[in-house]
Amino acid sequence: EHWGLPTALLKHWGEEGGRAGARTPGSPPLVTVFSEDPVELGDPNILICYVDKFWPSVITITWLRNGFRKFSYLPFIPTRGDYYDCRVEHWGLPTALLKHWGEE
């Protein structure tokens, strides 16, 4: 960890070229979903929904597991057949954005 940020997030920032700064007002946010560690069925892990480059700062982030509401960050134990969606609501988006992770 660096400045309290998980290693997976820092690695992701490096892969994305260090995208920094907000977009213009009303621009839709960029959303990426990834796991903190490599996924192994039955092993606890954390899914991260990284939302970047949006303004204003008012935003709603919700996790859905198999279509049902969960948390803004999601500790999980991978199970065959499970899928997760990070739902982001922001006034720059015409409708809520769903970012999918996992099997369908």
Chain segment 60-102, per-residue pLDDT in tens: 888 888 888 765 677 889 888 888 999 999 988 999 999 999 8
Q: How confident is the model at residue 6 (pLDDT cuts 50, 70, 90)?
A: low
Instruction: Answer yes or no: is pLDDT of 17 > 90.
Output: no
Q: How far apart are the first and last CA of the chain?
A: 32
Q: pLDDT tens-digit profile of 23-61?
A: 566 778 899 999 999 999 999 999 999 998 888 888 888
Query: What pLDDT, on a 0 to 100 scale, did the predictor assign at position 28?
Result: 83
Residue whose pair of structure tokens reads 């990834």 in the numeric block: 34
Assigned CATH topology for domain 7-102: Immunoglobulin-like (2.60.40)
Query: What pLDDT, on a 0 to 100 scale, did the predictor assign at position 75?
Result: 84
**C-beta neighbour count of 85 within 10 angstroms:** 23
Q: How far, in Å, CA of 72 to CA of 63, rounded?
A: 6
